[in-house]
């Protein structure tokens, strides 16, 4: 498994765009901070749609009165909460599906 960090993205994009890494770091941090601010707003349904990349969506979940702790097998109550869901765009989805089909 390959793990990429924020700095890996900064280096890659700064090379491609011929921008200093310090400037690119400010740009990327600003973009990510804006996304965090949007996704953490208190509204129940929030969505960020980035064409050709994907959709980040905050969705409410229902309470689960009879969830089970797998470690202790004890029933627990899980209150309603919000979760972030990412749905990849068509171009990413097609490439990933093609990798599975080719194997």
Residue 42: the pLDDT is 85
Which residues are within 8 A (CB) of 3 and not within 5 positions of it... i.e. 6 or more apart?
A: none
Candidates 31, 29, 24, 25; CA nearest to 56 is 31
pTM strictly above 0.85 = no
Residue 98: the pLDDT is 84
In this prediction, residues 40-67 reach a mean pLDDT of 90
Residue 24: the pLDDT is 96
Say whether 54 sits in a helix, a strand or coil.
strand
- Which domains are assigned to the chain? 1-40 (no CATH), 43-103 (4.10.520.10)
Sign for the pseudo-dihedral over CA of 65, 66, 68, 74:
positive
Q: Identify the DSSP state of 18.
A: T
């Amino acid at each position: 498994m390959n793990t990429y960090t924020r700095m890996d993205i900064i280096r890659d994009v700064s090379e491609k765009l011929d921008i200093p890494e310090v400037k690119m770091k400010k740009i990327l941090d600003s973009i990510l901070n804006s996304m965090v601010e949007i996704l953490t707003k208190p509204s129940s349904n929030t969505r960020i749609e980035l064409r050709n990349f994907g959709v980040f969506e905050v969705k409410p979940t229902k309470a689960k009165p009879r969830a089970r702790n797998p470690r202790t097998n004890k029933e627990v109550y899980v209150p309603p909460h919000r979760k972030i869901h990412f749905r990849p765009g068509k171009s990413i989805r097609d490439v990933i599906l093609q990798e599975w089909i080719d194997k």
